[in-house]
Amino acid sequence: MTTTIWHNPRCSKSRQTLALLEAEGVDVTIKLYLEDTPSPATLSKVLGQLGIPAWDWLRRGEAAFKTLGLSKDSGDQAILEAMHAHPVLIERPVVIHGKRAALGRPPENVLALFD
């Protein structure tokens, strides 16, 4: 089964999550999502796998968040489109394993994907 991490090498949690997966012997495919931006359809699929509202997957401390004027009332589709246009808004890291996904905050969260 394929395991993919949406990774930002500048992010300590992303680096920690990748190191944890590698220490567990997981063969991981790395997707540099800031360079290879997921489509809105892919974001929607992964959102479903995460099982959380788009608002909870959104990095609200970024300048793009403030500039776009997003709010809890924006709706999932508007948030996903903003994430596609500004991938820095995607909370990371995201680990996708089969049909499930988890946020690596904290990094140990992703281990539940392998139970």
What residue segments make up the domains of the chain, in order of their start?
1-33+92-115
Residue type, 51: G
CATH number of 1-33+92-115: 3.40.30.10
CA torsion sign for 47, 6, 101, 4 is positive
CA distance linking residue 61 with residue 82, whole number of Å:
14
Question: Which pLDDT score is estimated for 106?
Answer: 97
Burial 72-91 (b: 16+ CB within 10 A, else e): eebeeeebbbbbbebbebbb
Catalytic residue annotation = 11
Query: In the chain, count of helices (H) and strands (E)?
Result: 4, 4
In this predicted structure, the answer to whether residue 1 has a pLDDT above a threshold of 90 is: no
Residue pLDDT, tens place only, 37-82: 999 999 999 999 999 999 999 999 999 999 999 999 999 999 999 9
Reported as a pLDDT band with limits 50, 70 and 90, residue 115 is confident
Cis peptide before 107 (omega within 30 of 0): no
DSSP letter, residue 39:
P
pTM equals 0.95
